[in-house]
Amino acid sequence: MARRLISPAAACQGCGLVKAGFLGVVSPLHYQRLPSASSKRGSSGNNYSSSRASLTKEVSHWTRTITKPSLSLHSSKFLSKRTSCSVATEPPPAATEEPEMDLPKEIFLKDYKKPDYLFDTVDLEFQLGDEKTIVTSKIGVSPGNEVGTTSPLALHGRDLKLLSVKVNGTELKSDEYTVDPRHLTILTPPAGVFNLEIVTEIYPQLNTSLEGLYRSTGNFCTQCEAEGFRKITYFQDRPDVMAKYTCRIEGDKTLYPVLLSNGNLIKQGDLEGGKHYALWEDPFKKPCYLFALVAGQLECREDSFVTCSGRKVTLRIWTPAQDLPKTSHAMYSLKEAMKWDEEVFGLEYDLDLFNIVVVPDFNMGAMENKSLNVFQSRLVLASPEAATDGDYAAILGVIGHEYFHNWTGNRVTCRDWFQLTLKEGLTVFRDQEFSSDLGCRTVKRIADVSKLRSYQFPQDAGPMAHPIRPHSYIKMDNFYTVTVYEKGAEVVRMYKTMFGVSGFRKGMDLYFQRHDGQAVTCEDFYAAMCDANNAQLPNFLQWYSQAGTPTVKVSSSYDESSQTFSLKFSQEVPPTPGQLLKEPMFIPVAIGLVDSTGKDMPLTTIYSDGMLKTLSNDGQPIFTTVLQFKKKEEEFVFNNVSERPVPSLLRGYSAPIRLDSDLTESDLYFLLANDSDEFNRWEAGQVLARKLMLSLVADFQQQKTLALNPKFVDGLRAILRSTSLDKEFIAKAITLPGLGEIMDMMPVADPDAVHAVRTFIKKELAFQLKDDLLAAVTSNRSSEAYAFNHDSVARRALKNTCLAYLVSLNEPEVTELALSEYHSATNMTEQFAALAALSQNPGQVRDEALLDFYSKWQHDYLVVSKWFALQATSDIPGNVANVQKLLAHPAFDMRNPNKVYSLIGGFCGSPVSFHAKDGSGYKFLGEVVLQLDKINPQVASRMVSAFSRWRRYDETRQALAKAQLEMIISANGLSENVYEIASKSLAA
């Protein structure tokens, strides 16, 4: 879907073609450092309905008399800090009768049943108003099966006031239906086809959850995925109920001159009393989660695209007038995505109009509503002076992602929400490929794998571990995770690895041929891939049902007499909650053999599982092959190997696993210098760096003197001096693994020790490579106008990475150098990178630079979010207190998700500050989570997930974190979103 998971690190990254998305939470999909929105992969043995009888739920449900509320003191305080990107936070009207508190209910994939009733047509009418909005839905209902049904028709609903309900034009009596806080049930519907009309009253101006219909900076906007449509009207809010929609919108013409919905504009006109209307029709069947409505004071950038069949499509990006100049890159990205999807997958856009709307208040990154995509501002608006290369790359990727959903998500959608990876994993893979083709494929692959390791691997190893298709959930919103998205994309990538480009395309073609206009399952995609290639993939479906990251061990041996080289593989999938015993996975391992001169050796035959396989490619030599590792243990023997090779394992990262090989340190340095697979060159350096860092952490913990391996320094010096390597690749190759990646490899995570070691290595490298780093900064300056292309991005990436190393020395001359770069920068990428470098070192220079930056950019809330994130992610001593003070900053607003992700999510991504030994970081987050939960449970649940791996730390930290989880779980009125994650974390 379009709801890419967001993290604040995106705001801090000034270089690199990285992509927006989840975790995330999401995606962008360089969304680093925000704890992923941990989703639940509950086992059948877990029963949350009995685990906490005292849990109180949101009580903002009402079905009778509504009284207009007055502002509370709490609301007034927030309104005094209201900025240009916030929504009102008044409490909803109190119910006349408090509904009975219900318990969290766990929903299981195994319990899926087809709907008893189908909806064929849905005609919606909205009468928008400042105080209330009236929604009328007219639904054509038919039985869900040929024999019909006598079952009641149960409709979902939340925060709705029911005004009337009619069947075939006759208003129902009170004993013919029931209403509770979550459902409207028609007790005895007519047999056969009938018409249902429901009128509800809703209050978008009070809706701080940003689900359903809400107000953002005076404009109306919807967000219906996953279960927001039930906050608009009573409905079967499930993705397998697909219908054709019309939507009539009425509103004040002065306040809401633009009225948008899905599909084609059929009619519009003026009404009495200064109002006007617009009627929209979507000719394609869709589930209700793809419904969208936007109304407000917006202007558009208009362009067009001519499809491969010659149709002209009008393209419009809607935003407040002052932001129109910042939409040119988004329009470029949209046109490139449309062109790419035609060329690579043969997929043509199917309507004559495509709209994108930009809003400042949005829970996720973007939403792929049919023909009316809604985006958070940060993922559309860009100008060289206010957006970084990372922002430009994120926009490219997410614009592509949402557009690609038109086929992978909209035309073919999910049968149920457990199948979310069917559309999200597939579409993430597609946007990764799109960004790779428009940038540098190796660098993009490195960025995607780094995100997987930093965020998905820890989720796979924690209490929130779940397969890419979870087995159960309490709150669906918790399932927009790096596992479903990024690991899901890796599973899709494995099909391409095994079947090749043409085979993957054949599988995609068959998938659309079979399932266009349907709501389907992951098995349907698997079957299309296998059938199109006349292949079988034994135990491949384990990737959809089995949680955890497989660890693959590889040992090698060479027999000189027979000229054979053997690789023995073994795999183990660790136990995860609810899945203690695991079956072997189907793991494709791309491999090459490198000879003593650094050249790839031709591969002729492989013996495995009692069979000899001849490798051929139309008479051309093969240098990389894919081994299908399917058992717990397997051996592969290469014949005609003239000398002992160095194996290049898992080329291109062909499977999402942890690899443990018997490659020696000398082998790794050899691959770092020679491997033809650039990803594996980078990987060899990362393995060396991880081993070095873990060794020095042990030394630090034993209070030994730290010393850097000269060979490691020489290896990085050689890369830095290379004139043949891509500059962005060099920037990636000389960047050390993050703190989280190293802590994840330790039996007991020690953030202080890892931080101390990483700081030591960085400074030591800066000291020993100072001349080379200075030369790189100097040689990569440019006075040319900003351009977002790979060469320019790569130049800036290398310059900024080298500058950050140098400033870590905290020497006067390099500080002056960074200040000079900061003041002379002509674009945000270089200005922000210089600021980030200066902010490493506490003191007057840092404080003055941060103050200067804010004074320059306080008028631009997107840049201010970067400023918040930079301070939040800082590891300087005492930063907990600094972040606490920033909560009271006039530019911060707890109701705006982007600012919460930047400041609070960014703070969670600083291991040193969040895991402060005195527990101050935990206490800070615990208090904020409870405050957020009253405003926006979705955002609160993403924050609380930072606690999920509390057992990975020492006993002191465990006790402090546990106390906060217990405090959260005992809070009165806790949302299901936060309860699900906090309770599972506590039970780990």
Q: Which tokens hold the place of 50?
A: 């009995």
8-state DSSP, 902: I
How far apart (Å, rounded) are the C-alpha atoms in residues 848 and 563?
66
Q: Measure the CA–CA gap between 766 and 774, rounded to whole angstroms.
A: 10
CB-side neighbour CA atoms (13 Å) of 924: 25
Q: How far apart are CA 488 and CA 478, in angstroms?
A: 16
- What does each C-alpha distance from 298 to 114, 319, 373 come to in angstroms? 41, 5, 15
What backbone torsions phi and psi does residue 317 show, to the nearest 5 degrees? -115, 115
Q: Where are the beta strands (DSSP E) in 476-525?
A: 519-520
The residue whose two tokens read 């020395």 is 809
Evaluate whether 903 touches 33 at the Cβ level (below 8 Å): no
Q: Please compute, for residue 889, the number of CA atoms within 13 A of its CA located in the half-sphere on the CB side.
A: 20
Nearest 5°: CA angle at 838, between 84 and 852?
40
Q: What is the DSSP letter of 206?
A: G
Q: How far apart are CA 61 and CA 233, in angstroms?
A: 13
What is the Cα 754 distance to its own chain's centre?
27
Q: In angstroms, rounded to a whole number, what is the distance separating the alpha carbons of residues 612 and 438?
A: 40
Type and span of the H or E element at 374 = strand 372-376
The torsion of the CA quartet 65, 71, 73, 75, rounded to 10 degrees, works out to 100
The three-class DSSP label of residue 744 is coil
Determine the Cα–Cα distance for residues 616 and 619; give it in Å rounded to an integer: 6
Task: State residue 117 phi and psi, 5-degree precision.
Answer: -130, 145
Q: Which two tokens stand for residue 824?
A: 């002379």
Place of tokens 């393995």: 687
C-alpha distances (whole Å) from 104 to each of 58, 101, 154, 476, 977 are: 11, 10, 19, 12, 10
Rounded Cα distance, 528 and 535, in Å? 10
Neighbours of 311 (CB within 10 A): 13
Phi, psi at 900, each rounded to 5°: -65, -45
What letter would DSSP give residue 600? B
Kindly give, in sequence order, each residue whose CB lies less than 8 Å from that of residue 199, ignoring residues fewer than 6 positions away.
Answer: 134, 135, 136, 137, 162, 163, 164, 165
Rg (CA), the chain: 28
Beta strands in 420-532 (DSSP E): 472-473, 519-520
List the catalytic residues: 402
